[in-house]
Amino acid sequence: MATPSRALLLLLAFAVAAHERCAAQGLGAGGGATSILIKGGTVVNADREEKADVYIKDGIIDAVGPNIKVPGGNKVRVINATGKYVMPGDLPGNLFPGGIDPHTHFAFEFMGTVTIDDFYSGQAAALAGGTTMHIDFVIPVNGSLAAGLESYKKKAANAVMDYGFHVAITSWNDQVAREMEVMVKKNGINSFKFFMAYKGSLMLTDDILLQGLKKCKSLGALAMVHAENGDAVAEGQQRMIDFGITGPEGHALSRPPYLEGEATSRAIRLAKFINTPLYIVHVMSTDAMEEIAKAKREGQRVIGEPVVSGLVLNESWLWDPDFTVASKYVSPPIREAGHGKALQAALSSGILQLVGTDHCAFNSTQKALGCNDFRKIPNGVNGVEERMHIIWDSMVETGKISVTDYVKVTSTEGAKIFNIYPQKGAILEGSDADIIILNPKGRFAISARTDHSRSNTNVYEGWKGKGLVEVTISRGRVVWEDGKLNITAGTGRYVKLPPLGYVFDGIEKSDAAYRASLRAPVQRGKVCG
Ligand SMILES: *[C@@H]1O[C@H](CO)[C@@H](O)[C@H](O)[C@H]1NC(C)=O
Ligand SMILES: *[C@@H]1O[C@H](CO)[C@@H](O)[C@H](O)[C@H]1NC(C)=O
Ligand SMILES: *[C@@H]1O[C@H](CO)[C@@H](O)[C@H](O)[C@H]1NC(C)=O
Ligand SMILES: *[C@@H]1O[C@H](CO)[C@@H](O)[C@H](O)[C@H]1NC(C)=O
Ligand SMILES: *[C@@H]1O[C@H](CO)[C@@H](O)[C@H](O)[C@H]1NC(C)=O
Ligand SMILES: [Zn+2]
């Protein structure tokens, strides 16, 4: 079992990152002003806040500190963060690492249609909302992961910001196992997603999930699960149809939270059995969250990802008499009021670790594919543009989390888990210059008429709140300012995610302890014959 050491892989990762940085410099980082000095702001990282200037050069943060002086010249653009963004007095900081959304679906072919946001519009929306990197899900093509990755690379040709990929595993055979290895060793993939729901299409059985967990562990890749009991959900859907319930409320009624709790518990126990870290996507219910809390108390490495819709919405919308309104909220399953509050509390106490969106937008025409059968409503909500604003407004403004924890759950934790920290997730010397200037006194208002998603609907329609992303800097380029985007298709960069992130650290030691604990085989001399 000659697995390369974690240190060696980290070294390689840095070498790759450094190489890619040089390439980015060669391209002039998109051709904008090459240097920016942000003066007089308060820099917030996951571990502290400090008054500091930030100097950006060639897409990288060159220096962070008080009173930075840079050689003059018209190539340096100075942004004064004092007067413009921070009012005198007791306000929190205002320079944050750009958001990282660990869970999006752009240009995703699903349920007979394709998400309305592709990489261009989805990323435009992200940047306008202060998110500078996302990780999307590659879906295999004809069972091939390589073909799936190729297809997603084509889809991402119009990218305007940095992105990475997870790969979904939707079937199992020797070829899939071999391709997983190639994905990790050659293609910058360090996580694979397994669906325990969507019976008949994406769903996998437990024996395959076990094979997948073993393979992930051997590669130092993180296993992710969509945890709902797919057999029971299918049964629940049929039950609602038999009751004559065909509208969007049938979606909620067919998949009660305990089916999510059951699958979460099952996935956690299988991961415990294999002794490999597990990442639960879109934790939507108290039921699932309690399973994660319990596993964490017992020392198991389980990461829970709530999504914005699950944190702040409740299922009452699904009963709206207007189909266009109700169908917007179909999936991931938004729960009864109360679950969201519990998920917020779990996020603030570290039981849940980072916030995604599962941005998977369909417009009202697409949602109408399910006008007489909720099972045919394309599943997905928006959120990539709203995430940073809504989490600030509903959790920082209300005192539920500190500004440093805001950075942690929206950016740093994602960078650490997917093993690209501190290239991403921090405002530090040497990090990529992905920075947002958020004015705590600014106000935002959400509407499909003004957002940047291509959808004509928005699940946060009418939400007004405090804390406004006024400037977004993506790899050293000001891409969002004065309410306007300045982006160029094709400037986005694929960020390779190296395996053996921190969640794998020490796994081999606990494996050895387990082997030693067996006290077997027992030496018995001659037993048979
Ligand atoms: C937009 O960005 C380009 C380079 O990225 C820059 O040359 C141009 O001046 C910017 N336009 C505006 C209006 O800021
Ligand atoms: C930045 O803005 C503040 C407030 O308007 C002002 O007092 C300060 O002199 C400005 N600093 C620079 C370097 O322009
Ligand atoms: C999938 O496989 C079938 C049969 O081998 C082939 O006809 C089809 O072109 C393939 N589709 C794609 C997208 O590669
Ligand atoms: C559930 O959501 C609706 C619509 O946003 C809201 O009016 C209602 O107050 C929420 N219920 C609770 C108990 O929070
Ligand atoms: C939704 O998107 C489809 C496909 O792009 C388009 O044909 C349709 O007109 C859109 N509907 C609305 C209401 O914008
Ligand atoms: Zn998803």
Q: What is the pTM of this model?
A: 0.93
Pocket of ligand 2 contains residue 175 by CB under 6 Å = no
- The pLDDT score that the predictor gives to residue 56 is 96
Pocket of ligand 3 contains residue 10 by CB under 6 Å = no
In this predicted structure, the answer to whether residue 28 has a pLDDT above a threshold of 50 is no
Containing H/E element for 209? helix 206-219
Neighbours of 459 (CB within 10 A): 24
Q: Which residues pair with residue 211 across a beta bridge?
A: none
Phi/psi at 111 (5° precision): 50, 45
What is the C-alpha separation between 438 and 432, in angstroms, rounded? 18
Closest CA to 89 of 42, 43, 52, 53: 42
Pocket of ligand 3 contains residue 144 by CB under 6 Å = no
Pocket of ligand 2 contains residue 68 by CB under 6 Å = no
Pocket of ligand 2 contains residue 83 by CB under 6 Å = yes
Phi/psi-derived region of residue 430, left when phi > 0, alpha when psi is between -120 and 50, beta in every other case: left
Average pLDDT of the residues of the chain: 92
Position in ligand 2 atom list of the atom nearest CA 39 = 13
Q: How confident is the model at residue 74 (pLDDT cuts 50, 70, 90)?
A: low
| Residues in CB range of 238: below 8 A, 6 or more apart | none
What is the C-alpha separation between 28 and 59, in angstroms, rounded? 8
Contact 391, 348 (CB under 8 A): no
Q: Which amino acid is at 269?
A: R
Q: How confident is the model at residue 93 (pLDDT cuts 50, 70, 90)?
A: low
Q: How confident is the model at residue 235 (pLDDT cuts 50, 70, 90)?
A: very high
Q: Which amino acid is at 150?
A: E
| Residues lining ligand 1, Cβ inside 6 A | 30-32, 477, 486
What is the C-alpha separation between 339 and 353, in angstroms, rounded? 17
> Which residue has 């309410």 as its token pair?
483
Q: Which ligand is nearest to the CA of 457?
A: 5
In this predicted structure, the answer to whether residue 315 has a pLDDT above a threshold of 90 is yes
Q: What percent of the chain has pLDDT over 90?
A: 87
Q: What percent of the chain has pLDDT over 70?
A: 91
Pocket of ligand 5 contains residue 456 by CB under 6 Å = yes
Pocket of ligand 5 contains residue 324 by CB under 6 Å = no
pLDDT tens track for 159-180 = 999 999 999 999 999 999 999 9
Pocket of ligand 3 contains residue 141 by CB under 6 Å = yes
What is the C-alpha separation between 62 and 432, in angstroms, rounded? 9
pLDDT, average across residues 453-457 = 98
Helices (H), 439-491: none
pLDDT, average across residues 124-141 = 98
Q: Which ligand is nearest to the CA of 116?
A: 5
Closest CA to 36 of 437, 433, 492, 411: 433
Q: How far is the CA of 32 from the centre of ligand 5 (A)?
A: 34
- The pLDDT score that the predictor gives to residue 495 is 98
Atom 5 in ligand 1: residue holding the nearest Cα:
32
Least confident of 59-73, 159-173, 241-255, 336-350: 59-73
- The pLDDT score that the predictor gives to residue 228 is 98
Max avg pLDDT among 34-48, 72-86, 139-153: 139-153
What is the C-alpha separation between 128 and 385, in angstroms, rounded? 6
Q: How far is the CA of 366 from the centre of ligand 5 (A)?
A: 7
Phi/psi-derived region of residue 199, left when phi > 0, alpha when psi is between -120 and 50, beta in every other case: beta
Paired tokens of 513? 């302890």
In this predicted structure, the answer to whether residue 522 has a pLDDT above a threshold of 50 is yes
In this predicted structure, the answer to whether residue 410 has a pLDDT above a threshold of 70 is yes
In this predicted structure, the answer to whether residue 186 has a pLDDT above a threshold of 90 is yes
pLDDT tens track for 345-369 = 999 999 999 999 999 999 999 999 9
Q: How confident is the model at residue 3 (pLDDT cuts 50, 70, 90)?
A: very low
What is the C-alpha separation between 188 and 152, in angstroms, rounded? 13
- The pLDDT score that the predictor gives to residue 16 is 41
Q: How confident is the model at residue 26 (pLDDT cuts 50, 70, 90)?
A: very low
Q: How confident is the model at residue 85 (pLDDT cuts 50, 70, 90)?
A: very low
Q: How far is the CA of 457 from the centre of ligand 5 (A)?
A: 11
In this predicted structure, the answer to whether residue 30 has a pLDDT above a threshold of 90 is no
Q: How far is the CA of 79 from the centre of ligand 2 (A)?
A: 10
pLDDT, average across residues 16-38 = 49
For residues 216-235, b (16+ Cβ closer than 10 Å) or e, as one string? bbebbbbbbbbbbbbebbbe
pLDDT tens track for 417-443 = 999 999 999 999 999 999 999 988 899
- The pLDDT score that the predictor gives to residue 73 is 66
In this predicted structure, the answer to whether residue 413 has a pLDDT above a threshold of 90 is yes
Position in ligand 1 atom list of the atom nearest CA 477 = 5
Containing H/E element for 503? none
DSSP-based three-state secondary structure for 85: helix
